[in-house]
Copies of this chain bind each other. A is one copy, B any other.
Amino acid sequence: MTLLALTGGVGGAKLALGFAKVLPPEDVVFVVNTGDDFEHLGLHISPDVDTITYTLAEVANPIAGWGRKDETWRFMDALERFGGETWFRLGDADLALHLHRRTLLNAGKSLTAATNEIAGRLGVEHTILPMSDDPVRTRVLTSDGSLAFQHYFVRDRCAPKAVGFEFAGAETASVNPAIPFESVTAIVICPSNPFVSVDPILAVDGMRDALLATGAPIVAVSPIVGGRAIKGPTAKMMRELGVRTTTVAVAEHYAGLVSHFVIDEVDARAEAAVAALGMGTTALQTVMTTLDDRVQLARSVLEFIR
């Protein structure tokens, strides 16, 4: 089989690690949101790509949900002294990835090639593909105006009220040509934020059609469990957008694309409502606390697909 797993940051990365533990490198490709990417301090920061990379390399910081474990902050402290921008925290070791990527990109490599080289150096054997090598930049439309994603997410800590989203560049960006659509046998949308992690991937010109054209089942795993998001602003955004914070509302969001929808066991009574959308559905233990949880959910999703 070839599984295509679409993912954003933390939540998606957990399931991605599960897949990486149960599938050999030739059987799964991770397609990652780059709508969060931004230029900062002259560097190209690619938060979701980095979270997946660090997670698969098993050097991710498990508490923060970003960056590396056992990190130090000498650079950041010194930068603060210079009056530099410190709202986006870059650890001393993390910084090496960003500077090295800058070097690779400046040398003319694509984001895909840079990602592949960096992940390889960290011992990652599975393939991580940015959704596109062209810039797509998520903007959060808020009641205070339009904000670049990281300004909304990190600097302003998701405080402004979201009223909509824009994926600047998506309509002219090309789908990453390395994505092996022709051999895909299943597609999983990992439990990432539908609005700012998955929608940017789907917004890349031609992506949605290419996914549907595979004819493969498209299985989404709900990021909403018991009416709440495990992590991040998904539930807050749903409230602000006037959408119910339920797993069914997420399924509705994916209607027309997704053929199967995985809900959490605590939402088992929502199965009928999801089925009414024409989706196959199953209730699984989707909250991933331990590594075992990740592996078990990956196994269960694969069983559901089969």
Contact = CB atoms under 8 A, between A and B. Distances in A.
Interface of A: 41-43, 72, 74-79, 81-85, 91-97, 99-100, 102-103, 106, 117-118, 121-122
A122 B43 CA distance: 24
Copy number in the complex reads 2
Given A72-B92, A75-B92, A75-B96, A82 B42 contact: no
B102 A79 contact: no
B84 A96 contact: yes
A79 B92 contact: no
Contacts of A78: 92-97
Contacts of A76: 96
A43 B103 CA distance: 10
B75 A93 contact: yes
B82 A100 contact: yes
Contacts of A93: 74-75, 77-78
A103 B72 contact: no
A interface: dominant SS: helix
A128 to B, nearest CB: 15
A121 B83 CA distance: 8
Contacts of A97: 78, 82
A25 to B, nearest CB: 20
Contacts of A95: 75, 78, 95
A96 B79 CA distance: 5
Given A41-B102, A41-B103, 9 more contacts: A42-B42, A74-B91, A75-B75, A77-B93, A77-B96, A78-B94, A78-B96, A82-B121, A84-B100
A74 B72 CA distance: 8
Contact of A81 (B79, B83, B94, B121): B121
A1 B159 CA distance: 56
Nearest to A73: B92
A99 B76 CA distance: 11
A55 B11 CA distance: 47
A43 B117 CA distance: 21
A14 to B, nearest CB: 24
A75 B122 CA distance: 15
A101 to B, nearest CB: 9
Nearest to A118: B82
A96 B121 contact: no
A85 B106 CA distance: 14
